[in-house]
Amino acid sequence: MVRVFVDADSCPVKSEIVSICQEYEVGAVFVSSTAHHITVPDMFLQVTVDSDKEAADLYILNHTKRGDCCVTQDHALASILLPKGVSVLSPRGIVYREETIMQLLDARYLSQKERRKGGKTKGPKAFTEEDRMRFCHQLTRILSKEEGI
């Protein structure tokens, strides 16, 4: 049975995940740290982990299996989940792929390196309604494919 794991601390599409998972009768696991309070419907699992930097990522990594889906903005987590056969989707509706994940990791590394030197880098663009619609389309596509529809 497919499950959707959500790196929930700063996820802007939690309500959309709830709606789509209900529609496809797919279980979801919302993972957040003790530093963030989230509320999800009783039919879904809510897991609270320590506020350590990688605690949510480690929980997701240790509990996902082939065929599951994960919603995360974390490129490093995505790069570890993809070889496990987990579909990984950003809240902006970008489907992470093994063929392109290294480019994203390289760009992240270069930005971090620039910031450590005291330089400035661009932050993320504002989340848009188009991002939300793209996300809904992609999650629906992933779950309908997994369900054989």
For the chain, what are the domain ranges? 3-97+127-146
Which percentage of the chain shows pLDDT scores above 90? 64
In tens, the pLDDT along 60-118 reads 999 999 999 999 998 889 999 999 999 999 999 999 987 776 676 566 656 676 677 78
Domain 3-97+127-146: CATH architecture, name and number where available: 3-Layer(aba) Sandwich (3.40)
Per-residue DSSP letters for 37-104?
-----TTSEEEEE-SSTTHHHHHHHHH--TT-EEE-S-HHHHHHHGGGT-EEE-TTSPBP-TTTHHHH
Q: What is the per-residue pLDDT for 17?
A: 98
